[in-house]
Amino acid sequence: MSIIRKFIGPKSKYDKSLPFMYEACIDVLYGQGDAPVYNYYQCDTVCGLIEYLDENGIAPENVQLYGIYSGKKIQLDTNYCTNIEGEWLRRPEICIALEEHFRETLEAQYKGHRAFEECDFDDRDRTGGGPF
């Protein structure tokens, strides 16, 4: 990565058609409280976020996933991020699932993920963080 790129960040973060990050939202009371209490987890890539959630034992059924864009937040369907047993998909399976779904629907929140070509998110850090 060039010095300029280190300073201004990944080129893909300036593509307004892609989320600049992904966020997972988990109600830590699992719907049992008067109002939800959320923990948030974040990552520059959805594959990195899912990997982080999986490594921290956070099951898909408790998670809402969002693509965060400039000025808006769009929910992703976790069904495209899990296998038939309901477990998180990992790379490259998650990439394949999102790529195929985008090809079929053209839903913007699934754009840019590629398993066997250069992914639009390849210039980003896949390290997840949280809870926040």
Where are the extended beta strands (E) located within the chain? 21-27, 38-43, 63-69, 72-76
Residue 20 lies in a domain: yes
| 2 falls within a domain | no
How do 38-43 and 21-27 pair as beta strands? antiparallel
Q: Is residue 66 situated within a structural domain?
A: yes
pLDDT 10s digits, 76-115: 999 999 999 999 999 889 888 888 877 788 776 777 666 6
pLDDT at 124 > cutoff 90: no
Residue 117 located in a structural domain: no
Confidence of residue 128 (pLDDT cuts 50, 70, 90): very high
Asked if the structure places residue 122 within a domain, the reply is no
Encode burial over 99-124: b for 16+ CB neighbours within 10 A, e otherwise. bebbeeeeeebbbbbbbeeebbbeeb
Instruction: For residue 62, give the DSSP letter.
Output: G
What per-residue confidence (pLDDT) applies to 67?
A: 93
Does a structural domain hold residue 33? yes
Q: What is the CA radius of gyration of the chain?
A: 15
- pLDDT value at residue 17: 72
Question: Is residue 119 a part of any domain in this protein?
Answer: no
Pair of tokens at residue 125: 């850090």
Full residue range of the structural domain in which residue 36 is found: 11-110
Q: pLDDT tens-digit profile of 25-41?
A: 999 988 888 998 999 99
Contact call for residues 97 and 6 (beta carbons, < 8 A): no
Please count the structural domains in the chain: 1
126: in domain: no
Q: What is the pLDDT of residue 6?
A: 57
